[in-house]
């Protein structure tokens, strides 16, 4: 019953967070340029946020195991709101960097605590459905956010940052007044007493799943960083067409996560769904090499997006089931691996693209195949662990 009440609230929370985050995406390069940023400094400005997420997501996850999900979530979203307002008020480049660092540090709490909250309130059978709903909200937020940011940047470039800050502030009050805590005082007390060391908690087969997520994140961020150039070279597509293509892909991914993932994981288990997602993603990468028009770009990128939409919620669900540490510690570490992929992926994709324009997608295929082998290894190790116990 609790999940039926809380999941729609969590959907709204993550949707609003990602709308706010998405609002600034089309604006920040021009805004930073106005403040004197070079292309290298712009790259660092984007990377520093992910670096903060990489470093601090596990910490916030562990804290949420001990003091509860709600206060940590509120702090993370308030920090995100603060960072947007600071960016809007920035008059020097260093102020923009400071705002991104503050925002990255505090908002690193958001994804682990929301994911851990879902794990708290769902049964193992319905875990995949819950994670899929959160994935869908993130996808939809990323669709609407950039569109809103583009529209409101016409008059002044700092207006979208005020909008993003207001969106996050609204989310803070939604959590404060509507969302209930998912961990009872007894559960928090037990988590604080046990405090399983994270390095010990991820020993064994489950550690393989973190590296699987890293490879998936690497391949996705490499594609995101280079696809605009690739589509222009192969089919002469501009920014407007690319906006529509990514919107179509995002909608398809959101539909898959919001509807199909829950049904399939309930019927076949997360393992099968992860493998299906990896295979479809690999096919998507291969097809992207053959785009020659708007239609083929939209269709082939959507194939990839559907495959990718199967993977993350299923991995999140499986890890929270199998890990022996608290849900917050588990999801925090998963977010950290995801952030590492987002830091390394864009420069790696750019480097490969400079060698040959198809290389980021060939490497994406290889990373996907490697992820599939990792899952097979995980399955084998799990079976061995079970047989040794019996």
Tell me the whole-structure pTM to 2 decimals.
Answer: 0.89
Assigned domain for 110 exists: yes
Are 326 and 67 in contact by the 8 Å Cβ rule? The answer is no
Number of domains in the chain: 2
Burial label for 308, CB within 10 Å (0-12, 13-18, 19+), is buried
Give the best-scoring range by mean pLDDT among 31-35, 159-163, 276-280.
Answer: 276-280
Which residues, 6+ apart, have CB-to-CB distance to 82 below 8 Å? 102, 103, 106, 165
345 & 273 share domain: yes
Assigned domain for 357 exists: yes
Say how many C-beta atoms besides its own lie within 10 A of residue 386's C-beta: 10
Out of 100-114, 151-165, 249-263, least confident range: 151-165
CA distance 367 to 390: 35
Say which residue, 28 or 82, is predicted with more confidence: 82
* Tokens 């995949």 sit on residue: 128
Burial label for 293, CB within 10 Å (0-12, 13-18, 19+), is middle
Assigned domain for 39 exists: yes
Are 341 and 218 in contact by the 8 Å Cβ rule? The answer is yes
Buried b (16+ CB within 10 A) or exposed e, 141-159: bbbbbbebbbebbeeebbb
Mean pLDDT confidence for 34-39: 86
Assigned domain for 154 exists: yes
Residues of the domain holding 77:
1-177
pLDDT-based confidence at 53, cuts 50/70/90? very high
In the chain, which ranges are continuous DSSP H helix?
2-23, 28-34, 39-67, 69-89, 93-107, 110-121, 127-152, 159-178, 185-194, 198-201, 206-235, 239-255, 261-268, 270-288, 294-322, 327-355, 359-389
pLDDT score of 197: 56
Q: Which residue, 160, 177, 194, sits at the end of a domain? A: 177
DSSP state of 183: S
User: What tens digit of pLDDT does each residue of 310-366 get?
Assistant: 999 999 999 998 877 788 889 999 999 999 999 999 889 989 999 999 999 999 999
pLDDT-based confidence at 24, cuts 50/70/90? confident
Are 183 and 113 in contact by the 8 Å Cβ rule? The answer is no
Which phi and psi (to 5°) does residue 357 adopt? -65, -20
Question: Is pLDDT of 201 > 60?
Answer: no
Which residues, 6+ apart, have CB-to-CB distance to 191 below 8 Å? 65, 66, 183, 326
Mean pLDDT confidence for 2-28: 86
Assigned domain for 200 exists: no
Token reading at 53: 């997420």
CA distance 87 to 93: 10
Assigned domain for 390 exists: no
Out of 6-20, 61-75, 322-336, least confident range: 322-336
161 & 271 share domain: no
pLDDT score of 202: 62
140 & 42 share domain: yes
CATH of the domain at 333: 1.20.1250.20
Token reading at 115: 């994911």
Q: How far is CA 122 from the centre of its chain?
A: 20
Are 111 and 217 in contact by the 8 Å Cβ rule? The answer is no
pLDDT-based confidence at 1, cuts 50/70/90? very low
pLDDT-based confidence at 181, cuts 50/70/90? very high
Mean pLDDT confidence for 4-29: 88
> Which DSSP string do the residues of 235-260 spell out, in sequence order?
H---HHHHHHHHHHHHHHHHHIIIII
Q: Is the dihedral of CA 238, 240, 245, 249 positive or negative?
A: positive
* Portion of the chain with pLDDT greater than 90, in percent: 65
252 & 159 share domain: no
155 & 239 share domain: no
Mean pLDDT confidence for 253-267: 92
Q: How far are the Cα atoms of 68, 133, 184, 252 from residue 258, in angstroms, in the given order?
A: 26, 5, 28, 10
Assigned domain for 191 exists: no
pLDDT score of 326: 81
DSSP state of 326: -
pLDDT score of 243: 81
pLDDT score of 149: 84
The mean predicted confidence, pLDDT, of the chain is 90
136 & 257 share domain: no
Mean pLDDT confidence for 264-286: 96
319 & 361 share domain: yes
User: What tens digit of pLDDT does each residue of 279-304 get?
Assistant: 999 999 999 999 999 999 999 999 99
Assigned domain for 162 exists: yes
49 & 124 share domain: yes
160 & 222 share domain: no
pLDDT score of 390: 58
102 & 215 share domain: no
143 & 39 share domain: yes
239 & 170 share domain: no
Mean pLDDT confidence for 121-133: 92
Which phi and psi (to 5°) does residue 238 adopt? -105, -170
pLDDT-based confidence at 90, cuts 50/70/90? very high
pLDDT-based confidence at 30, cuts 50/70/90? confident
């Amino acid at each position: 019953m609790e999940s039926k009440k809380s999941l729609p609230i969590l959907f709204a929370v993550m949707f609003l967070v990602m709308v706010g985050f998405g609002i600034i995406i089309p604006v920040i390069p021009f805004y930073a340029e106005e403040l004197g940023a070079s292309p290298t400094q712009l790259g660092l400005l984007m990377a520093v946020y992910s670096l903060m997420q990489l470093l601090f997501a596990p910490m916030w996850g562990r804290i949420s195991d001990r003091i509860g999900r709600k206060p940590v979530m509120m702090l993370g979203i308030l920090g995100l709101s603060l960072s947007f307002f600071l960016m809007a008020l920035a008059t020097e480049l260093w102020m923009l960097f400071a705002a991104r660092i503050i925002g990255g540090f505090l908002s690193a709490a958001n994804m682990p605590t929301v994911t851990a909250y879902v794990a708290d309130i769902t049964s193992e059978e319905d875990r995949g459905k819950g994670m899929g709903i959160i994935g869908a909200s993130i996808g939809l937020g990323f669709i609407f956010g950039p569109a809103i940011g583009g529209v409101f940047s016409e008059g002044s470039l700092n207006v979208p940052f005020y909008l993003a800050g207001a969106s996050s502030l609204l989310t803070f009050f939604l959590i404060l007044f509507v969302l209930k805590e998912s961990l009872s005082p007894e559960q928090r007390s037990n988590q604080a007493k046990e405090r399983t060391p994270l390095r010990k908690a991820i020993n064994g087969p489950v550690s393989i799943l973190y590296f699987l997520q890293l490879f998936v994140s690497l391949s996705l961020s490499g594609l995101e960083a280079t696809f605009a150039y690739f589509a222009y070279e192969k089919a002469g597509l501009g920014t407007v067409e690319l906006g529509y293509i990514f919107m179509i892909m995002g909608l398809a991914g959101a539909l898959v996560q919001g509807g199909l993932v829950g049904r399939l994981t309930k019927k076949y288990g997360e393992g099968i769904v992860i493998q299906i997602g990896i295979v479809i993603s690999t096919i998507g990468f291969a097809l992207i090499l053959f785009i020659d028009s708007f239609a083929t770009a939209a269709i082939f990128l959507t194939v990839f997006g559907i495959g990718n939409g199967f993977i993350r919620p299923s991995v999140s669900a499986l890890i929270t089931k199998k890990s022996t540490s608290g849900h917050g510690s588990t999801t925090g570490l998963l977010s950290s691996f995801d952030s590492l992929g987002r830091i390394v992926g864009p420069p790696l994709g750019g480097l490969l693209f400079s060698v040959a324009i198809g290389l980021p997608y060939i490497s994406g295929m290889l990373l996907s195949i490697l992820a599939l082998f990792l899952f097979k290894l995980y399955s084998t190790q799990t079976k061995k662990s079970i047989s040794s116990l019996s």
